[in-house]
Amino acid sequence: MHTENCITLQDVTIGYHGNPVLRDVNFSIRKGAFTVLVGPNGSGKTTLFKTILRLIPPVCGSVIYGTGAHPRLGYVPQRMFLDEIYPFTAGEVVSMGTFGQIKPFCSISKTSRLLVEQCLKDVGLLEQKRQLFSQLSGGQKQRILIARALATEPDILLLDEPITGVDIFAQKIIMELISQLHKKHNLTVLMVTHEIHSLPHWINELLWIHDNKLNLGNMAEMLSMFTGLKT
């Protein structure tokens, strides 16, 4: 049975201002897949991620999204600092995800308000809707940012280091949440992390950057090949 590819990179070189970071990148992510991009700091993970996000253009090669129109991307950034002179509530942060769906100078619609509440429910934080974002724990902030990405009603959910900087308990909650959202919304998920040893065993598709080369395989193969460990 043919499986549609959601994202395909063909002979891509990535970098900044024409200076290559990774060359000859070729891989495809299947529609509905849960793929984790791993590698040490400075290996090019973030540059590759930004290229897929269309934040920076490839130096050369092609980034192809599916077979039709561009999919809608939901992005969860690595860090988000909201200036505390602007006291945004958790609900207001999530509502930012709907801004691309409303016309300029118009207030948020009833449909968008319901969407925001549903996204808050999906991450288990509806009761924190009116709480200031700055007062939330690190794990709660990460879940609110995931809810904001969900409010874009994405086809692809892209998460940049979602479990970095939170404790082990929060890491487990966040990973379980992402798994649940992946299944519930039939999302294609691409997640970046360097927290290799915090990944749950149910993840099997890894993109691993090692020695300036990109390797695609299941978790057991990659761990055995590059760390000598077994799952």
Q: Name the CA dihedral angle for 167, 169, 172, 173, rounded to a multiple of 10 degrees.
A: -110
- Share of the chain residues as helix, strand and coil, in percent rounded to the nearest 5: 35, 25, 40
Q: Which of 218, 167, 176, 221 is nearest to 195 (CA)?
A: 167
Kind and range of the H or E run holding 44: none
Walk along the chain (231 residues) and give the pLDDT tens digit of each residue: 446 888 999 999 999 888 899 999 999 998 899 999 998 888 889 899 999 988 999 999 999 987 556 788 999 987 666 666 678 999 999 999 998 654 444 567 888 899 999 999 999 999 999 999 999 999 999 999 999 999 999 999 999 999 888 888 989 999 999 999 999 999 999 999 888 877 887 887 899 888 888 888 888 777 777 665 554
The domains of the chain are located at 1-71+155-231, 83-153
Q: Which of 219, 198, 197, 199 is nearest to 208 (CA)?
A: 219
Measure the CA–CA gap between 124 and 104, rounded to whole angstroms: 30
Level-2 CATH architecture, domain 1-71+155-231: 3-Layer(aba) Sandwich (3.40)
* pTM beyond 0.85: yes
Q: Where are the beta strands (DSSP E) in 33-142?
A: 34-38, 60-65, 73-76
Beta-carbon contacts of residue 102 (< 8 Å; ≥ 6 apart): 108, 109, 112
